[in-house]
Amino acid sequence: MWLRSERAVMEANSQPACHSSDPGPVTGASHRTGLGTTGRGPVLVVLRNGSVPTRALAFATSLAAGRERELVVLDAVRVARAAPLELPTPRLESHRETTARVVERLDGRRSAPDVTGQVVVGHDVAQLVAEAVEAREAAVVVVDDSWLGVGGRPLARSPLTRLRAAVDCPVAVPGHDLWPTPVSSVLVPVAGGPHSTAAVDLAGDVSLTTGAWVDLLHVVTGADPAARRSAEALLEARAMALAPLDRVDTWVLEAADVATAIVEQSRYYDRTLVGGPRHPRLRRAVFGSTSGAVREGVVTGGVTVWGPGPPDGHGRGA
């Protein structure tokens, strides 16, 4: 364990930084393992200008460890458009030291995945992450909830929207709420869209790491038998996607309001993974979204997940 940690720390401090205009491969920690037992790529967790997002790191670790995937800690350093891409040596070394400390801490945990660190410098953080995703064939990106901010402009494109437009893999955003450990239960509200599918998939990864039970929930707003049958069929399909995981249950809940019901049920779980909104920004700004209401209402272990695809797709549900 120590030799692996020592090597990762040395590489994080010795490799040159790269930037978004590099024509070649992303440089950084060179130590890599295989793609894991399922053939899926590593988990990439992003630091922004040296800030260390505790919940994002914890969630990324839980995704990586279950399937024995590599965890890549990427410190994406943004500089102004008019500024040179080469950082002053003291600042660059500060970022490398921060990344190395994160790598060493994660690598020392029980059942830790292989962890490597990398510092990249450029004018566009989303593009830096996209280049790392492509170079390493990452399976999922985990960022903190600062990526959701739009500076009080509801119709503006958030950093997350730009990131999702740049990468072709799921993106997960843990909320800034309570984060209990250990994890024994995970709730996934299930809808028919790609973001919900990605949330179910990541819940399976968490369960493999923690042994947590996964409950797949679909809320119906009326007593329509056809709606219930459709919900049951959807839940069955989602549960089959988690096979051979045997810690999965499904249930249909009838309630007057979908978001309120999900938030209420989330109080009984250590993690709640919900698919992100699919409606365009204008509609969300005017009418809101179920996913947004759930994210705001969940007070323990909330994670919003977006599957790959257009950032502002159309459709119903998450």
Beta-carbon count within 10 A of 187 CB: 24
How do the pLDDT tens digits run along the chain, 318 residues long? 222 333 333 333 334 334 433 322 323 332 222 222 334 799 999 998 788 999 999 999 999 988 889 999 999 999 988 888 888 999 999 999 999 999 999 887 766 789 999 999 999 999 999 999 999 999 999 999 988 865 555 555 788 999 999 999 999 999 988 999 899 999 999 988 899 999 999 999 999 999 999 999 999 998 899 999 999 999 999 999 998 899 999 999 999 999 999 999 999 999 999 998 864 443 343 334 678 789 889 999 999 999 987 665 444 345
Parse the chain into domains and list their residue ranges.
2-171, 185-306
Fold matches, 2-171 and 185-306:
yes
Note the pTM of the prediction, 2 decimals: 0.82
Q: Tell which CATH classification among 3.40.50.10490, 2.40.30.170, 3.40.50.620, 3.40.1160.10 matches the domain 185-306.
A: 3.40.50.620
CATH code: domain 2-171 is 3.40.50.620
